[in-house]
Structure 1
Amino acid sequence: MKCGLLGTGPWAQRTHGPALAAHQDVDLVGVWGRRAEPTGALAQQLGTRAYADIDALFADCDAVAIALPPDVQAPLAVRAADSGCHLLLDKPVATTPEAARAVTEAVERGGVGCVVFFTLHFSDTTGDWLRETARRGETFRARSAGDWQVGRADWLSPVFGGADSPYTASPWRREKGALWDVGPHALSVLLPLLGEAESVTAARGGVGDTVHLVLRHASGASSTCTLSHSVTPAAAGVTAEVRGAPGIAELPLREEEPAVSFGRALDALLETARTGGDRDHPCGARFAEAVTSVLHRAQEQLPPLE
């Protein structure tokens, strides 16, 4: 598959680019970025071509991977899909329901494949856990014994709390905070296991950008999230669990580098492109749209970050 990369920031340099360049079934055609100098530097690093004209890159590609802020990503994803390119997108796909819906409509209109890189679904240990935990719930549901009833997901990061991180200076993360950056990870665990979120209540509390969510799911289950980029390095960590008739299921540690997981997302895109569209993929455009909807409903209840 001939693939292009949009974006030149740390995530493109550390994850998207190396995985695209290393994948045996992908030909990395070129890189497009918003500034010429870093575009040229990343293209040289990856042994490919720098593109100044994004439409020329679309014309030369079967697919594009996008590593750009969500509000830049969404309209470019629409343009790429309308050009016939399959899409490997990052989370969140957008920060408004309208922009996320536009991506879904473009994917459906163009009949292209779309996979959104919700990292936990493509990491070996956590992806297996998500699938096995979903099966456990379905087994109990089939026996009329109930299934998962309560869940929680806490994503506590020190990106703004003193960590030496390449993402600390990210303008969009500074503006949107952990709600939009790690909130999608939390929801990527809770929504597949507990069902669609019928309601969400959000409040700020604690240091910096820390936010708390309470969700009521269509299944009757409930869940909570605590999301922050402002904890100290010593307090950082990720925990998630669901509880119900099958017992307790705790999310294991993710033990591999994101670039390895991204390679599996590429595998998923190749398969989705072969089978047609993203209709059956659990991390397709429609799921990403649902995640954006929940986060937007939460955002409407919160004061702006200072």
Structure 2
Amino acid sequence: MRIGLLGTGPWARMAHAPALDGHPDVEFTGVWGRRPEAARELAALHGVRAYGDVDALYADVDAVAVALPPGVQAESAVRAARAGCHLLLDKPLAPTVAQGRAVVEAAAEARVASVVFFTTRFQPGPQEWITEQARVGGWFTGRAQWLGAVFTAGDSPFAASAWRREKGALWDVGPHALSVLLPVLGDPRRVTAAAYGPGDTVHLVLDHASGASSSLTLSLTAPPAAAGAAVELRGESGVTHLPEATDGPVPALTRALDALLTAAATGTAHPCDAAFALRVTETLATAEALLRDGTPRPGAGA
């Protein structure tokens, strides 16, 4: 599979480009970025072509990996799908439900595969745990804490990200928490949200289709010593906790590439495809609207 990279920021440099360059079953073809000089620099590091015209890149590849802000990603993904490119996307899929739905529809119409990189879902231990808890069932409640120190650590390469500054933890780490809870407890029927705590800290309570409830605490403003992720489930089988992820982003992205290759070859949708990512986006948008105007709203699955 010939694959191109869209994006030249820190995530593209530290995760996407090394994963594409090191994968034995893909041909890393080239890089396009909104800053041509950054695209040339990143392409030179990996010995590939820098593209000034994104449509020329689409014409030369079978797939694209996207490391762009959510709004730009959504527009680019629609365009790439219409050009016949399979899609390796990042979370969140899009900043609005309408943009996310456009990606799903474009991929379906073009019959291209999509995989969205929810990092935890491509870590072996956590993914096995998620699969097992979905099989066991009988859960009464779940609790997730996804706490980052992007805005407090002082050395995060993502602290200057304009979209993270605007959207905060809800849209940055919220997708990670939801990618763990939804496969186990089902889509939300109702959502409540409140912004209590320092900075961008938010709290969500979800009523899931299974009848279970869950609570989420999300922040990018945690003290560095308090940063980390934890998920707990309680139900008929007792209490269980999400195992810690042990691999870095490059091995996880390599597995996401494997998943895209399989989905493209078989025509079978991956569990973390754009349609699943749209359901996550619907929940985030519901919570965002509630935080904005304080009016209770039904969840994405209602």
TM-score bracket for the superposition, by shorter chain length: over 0.9
Contact 1:123 1:256 in 2 (8 A): yes
* Cα displacement (A) at 1:163: 4.0
* Among candidates 213, 225, 228, match of residue 219 of structure 2: 228
Q: Distance in 1 between matches of 2:181 and 2:207?
A: 11
State whether structure 2 residue 180 is matched by structure 1 residue 186: no
Aligned to 1:124: 124
Structure 1 residues 115-170: Cα deviation after superposition (integer angstroms, max 9, x where no partner):
00011110122112111222222xxxxxxxxx112011111111112342111111
Aligned to 2:265: 274
Which deviates more, 244-253 or 168-177?
A: 244-253
SS of the residue 2:24 aligns to:
coil
Aligned to 1:176: 167
Contact 1:108 1:277 in 2 (8 A): no
Q: Distance in 2 between matches of 1:116 and 1:237?
A: 22
TM-score using structure 1 length: 0.94
Contact 1:70 1:95 in 2 (8 A): yes
Q: Distance in 2 between matches of 1:13 and 1:301?
A: 35
| Structure 2 unaligned blocks of 5 or more | 294-302
SS of the residue 2:89 aligns to:
strand
User: 1:1-306 alignment to 2 at 5 Å?
Assistant: 1-137=1-137, 147-276=138-267, 278=269, 281-303=270-292
SS of the residue 1:302 aligns to:
helix
Q: Percent same amino acid at aligned positions?
A: 59
* Cα displacement (A) at 1:262: 0.3
Q: Which amino acid aligns with 1:54?
A: V
Q: Which amino acid aligns with 2:13?
A: Q
Q: Which amino acid aligns with 1:288?
A: A
* Cα displacement (A) at 1:4: 0.3
Q: Which amino acid aligns with 1:203?
A: A
Structure 1 residues 260-301: Cα deviation after superposition (integer angstroms, max 9, x where no partner):
1000000000000001163xx110111000000000000011
Q: Distance in 2 between matches of 1:135 and 1:193?
A: 8
SS of the residue 2:290 aligns to:
coil
Q: Distance in 1 between matches of 2:233 and 2:55?
A: 45
Contact 1:87 1:113 in 2 (8 A): yes
Q: Distance in 1 between matches of 2:16 and 2:236?
A: 39
Q: Distance in 2 between matches of 1:114 and 1:209?
A: 30
Q: Which amino acid aligns with 2:178?
A: L
SS of the residue 2:190 aligns to:
strand
Structure 1 residues 172-219: Cα deviation after superposition (integer angstroms, max 9, x where no partner):
101100100000000001110000101111110110000000001111
Q: Distance in 2 between matches of 1:130 and 1:191?
A: 10
Contact 1:160 1:168 in 2 (8 A): yes
Q: Distance in 1 between matches of 2:151 and 2:135?
A: 37
Q: Which amino acid aligns with 1:79?
A: R
* Cα displacement (A) at 1:9: 0.4
Q: 1:63 to 1:47 in 2, by over 3 A?
A: same
Structure 1 residues 77-128: Cα deviation after superposition (integer angstroms, max 9, x where no partner):
0010010000000001101110010011011101110000011110122112
Q: Distance in 2 between matches of 1:241 and 1:163?
A: 30
Contact 1:154 1:239 in 2 (8 A): yes
Aligned to 2:299: none
Q: Distance in 2 between matches of 1:56 and 1:237?
A: 41
Q: Which amino acid aligns with 2:281?
A: T
Q: Distance in 1 between matches of 2:152 and 2:287?
A: 23
TM-score using structure 2 length: 0.95
Q: Distance in 1 between matches of 2:281 and 2:131?
A: 22
Superposition RMSD on alpha carbons, in Å?
1.1
